[in-house]
Amino acid sequence: MSRFSAPIAEQIWDMKYRLKNAENDKGDATVEDTWRRIARALASVEAKPATWEGRFFKALEDFRFLPAGRITAGAGTGRSVTLFNCFVMGTIPDSMAGIFDMLKEAALTMQQGGGIGYDFSTIRPRGADVKGVAADASGPLSFMDVWDAMCRTIMSAGSRRGAMMATMRCDHPDIEDFITAKQDAARLRMFNLSVLVTDAFMEAVKDGGNWDLQFGGKVYRTLGARDLWNRIMRATYDYAEPGVIFIDRINQMNNLAYCEEIAATNPCGEQPLPPYGACLLGSLNLARLVRDPFAESAALDEEALDELVATAVRMMDNVVDASRFPLPAQQEEARNKRRIGLGVTGLADALLMVKLRYGSDEGARQTERWLHRIARAAYMASVDLAKEKGAFPLFDAEKYLESGALKHMDKDVRDAIAKHGIRNALLTSIAPTGTISLYAGNVSSGIEPVFAYSYTRKVLQKDGSRTEEEVVDYAVQMWRDKFGEADLPEYFVNAQTLAPAEHVRMQAAAQKWVDSSISKTINCPEDISFDAFKDVYLQAYESGCKGCTTYRPNDVTGSVLSVSEEKKKDTPSAEHIAVSTGDNDVPPADVVYITDPLDRPQALEGSTYKLKWPDSEHAIYITINDIVMGNRRRPFEVFINSKNMEHFAWTVALTRMISAVFRRGGDVSFVVEELKAVFDPRGGAWMQGKYIPSILAAIGGVIERHMISIGFIEGEGMGLKSDPQAEIMTIGERPRGPVCSACGSYEMRMVEGCMTCASCGYSKCG
């Protein structure tokens, strides 16, 4: 019997997490092999590996504990990748040499698969004097463009493009440019942006006071605090960015406030970290821990939860010792503090199983009780580890117990820490879990509500045939299994039916017992007024949240994916994702996703192009082969050759990367966009009357011309023309939302602070 409760779960495992080794056929034949591989790798640092391997396997079994994707995909594989998800890089010096040293460190970190965060507030504002060179500074935004271009060229582990967070203080002189930077559709696409909002600023907003923009002790400008706040809110209302981070609260509530200052977070915001800070993630699947679901006696098995938490803490602590690190400074920081980020997923499903409505007062109270129990168990497990293995090196009992987060911890836990110390400085965090939630059987993600009870998904098979699958929420499927097609009870709610205030209530309830932070999106209706939208952020601040991320669908961010109220024939309780047009008779869109890369035929047709880069001794030859599907051609593989050995390594890497993308199908024209955006800091070249910023951009131009010649795209700078593998339904020329670069479907939506594909689970943030 398969352990997978849904076809999509097995597909995600095979695509994202399964170890494959074609050379000797050694790899993960089953998901049990994957669990065994992880358990063995994390037990290898124990004094008695065999004993702990069995316990770790039991925790992983049946998807009860879900280590984050980097651990699941990388542990025990021998690959040179980091098992850590989150990094905040070193403080950026306000000097050209220092800035580019930081750029190199960022590239090395993303190369191993880490998402990174940076505070750009430390760079002097645009127009400030640069001493010694008689010039004006270009400002932090110009250097963010450099980071963005670098990130475009790096594919992180697991075929995931690099993700970055940029923060800027609300009193930096360039904050207004920062707020509007991503309103240019071609700029900073690799970044999430968040403003570091201080308590003083929030008080000035409430009082209607003035606000100084300053750097290095010099006031550059004074404006009304409410005016600046309204600019932040208007940008977020219209463009879904920037997010807001309440930075003073983060530092006040930090267990390590006595030895670190935080000014940045990882890409999705659940990990505020100091310079070179690193954190690993894992989630407890609450949906798998409910006894007697939907019965009067339904309850979370709290004893099983305590046991699972203790094992999970030990496993994650071992990751600190088992993982590689891109930089020595990151390893030192991680091992000095031994931060872990244990969170939850399936919360909304678990609430449904115990017959509670997500967003209700009782639902929030139960969430707080569950998170309190998890926090207690995690801290006590870490105390037990400290008895056995020692406290984290920077532990100072008196200072640690006086930190904000520990002040409201239970007395017996505080007493145990005072007596024995604690192994991990911080323990809890709620991360985005979109992909691992699908892998676990489509449980609700993180602490988010159920997005849709079910939707239809078409899958293209290798032989060109298509199968149609219904993807059903885990709790809904359990209801169907138990009660057949009976109507869902009133306490079943989803993201489309909740008010923003109910989202805030749930985030605040969870935040009390989460010592790091929470990745959560507060969904707002398209017709919410601007004043009501601003109130969401004020409610988040007043209720104790550490940050706030909202998503309001509109013509800029993409039309909303809504749930049709029409019931499916012969399936009374089923719901379907439909285009938000106000017309409930619209059928659900066909979403096509390729489960496996297409097999290569024996012979392919193609073309070879010669590219002569100025000042280069040898030409580059680019061969692009196509596959014919139906009566249409699409690019299938690329070969790049040159006698110049300087180009050898990167041309081989580029060949493999682009060919792998092409074979996945969907709208692969984004490859052209990415390549053409790369610039060479040494300078580009003029070719045929046009300035080309780099040799990679020139290669992108060759691929673009080929795509035009075979009819795959309409013309230069234009996207996909027609693709038999990605037939996307549009209504009135309005697409369903932003296109997914992984599978080509128009199913991108905001989940836990990051755009995520509802069809294939792709997310640039992880």
Q: Crossing angle for the helix pair 500-511 and 361-389, nearest 10 degrees?
A: 30
Give the model's pLDDT for residue 632: 74
Give the model's pLDDT for residue 592: 37
Give the model's pLDDT for residue 745: 56
Considering the candidates 86, 151, 170, 268, report the single residue annotated as catalytic.
268
pLDDT in tens, 534-563: 999 999 999 999 999 999 987 776 543 334
Q: Is the dihedral of CA 209, 210, 211, 214 positive or negative?
A: negative
Provide CB contacts within 8 A for 279, sequence distance 6+: 84, 85, 86, 266, 271, 273, 334, 339, 340, 341, 426, 429, 516
Going by pLDDT thresholds of 50, 70 and 90, the confidence category of residue 393 is: very high
Rounded to whole angstroms, the Cα distance separating 251 from 258 reads 10
Encode burial over 193-215: b for 16+ CB neighbours within 10 A, e otherwise.
bbbbbbeebbebbeeeeebebbb
Going by pLDDT thresholds of 50, 70 and 90, the confidence category of residue 678 is: confident
Structure tokens, 627: 């596959």
Going by pLDDT thresholds of 50, 70 and 90, the confidence category of residue 754 is: low
| pLDDT beyond 90 at 719 | no
Q: Tell which phi-psi region holds residue 701, choosing left (phi > 0), alpha (psi between -120 and 50) or beta.
A: alpha
Beta bridge partners of 48: none
* More confident position, 753 or 554: 554
Rounded to whole angstroms, the Cα distance separating 277 from 92 reads 14
Give the model's pLDDT for residue 535: 97
Rounded to whole angstroms, the Cα distance separating 268 from 163 reads 9
| Omega before residue 242 within 30° of 0, cis | yes
Considering the candidates 10, 105, 270, 674, report the single residue annotated as catalytic.
270
Task: Give the percent of the chain with pLDDT over 70.
Answer: 83
Considering the candidates 255, 266, 285, 494, report the single residue annotated as catalytic.
266
pLDDT in tens, 7-56: 889 988 988 899 987 554 578 999 999 999 999 999 999 999 999 999 99
Residues 173/220, Cβ–Cβ less than 8 Å: yes
> By C-alpha distance, which of 422, 429, 418, 414 is closest to 394?
422
| pLDDT beyond 60 at 594 | no
Active-site annotation holds for 46: no
Active-site annotation holds for 266: yes
- pTM, to two decimals: 0.77
How many other CB atoms sit within 10 Å of the CB of residue 63? 24
Rounded to whole angstroms, the Cα distance separating 154 from 301 reads 44
Active-site annotation holds for 714: no
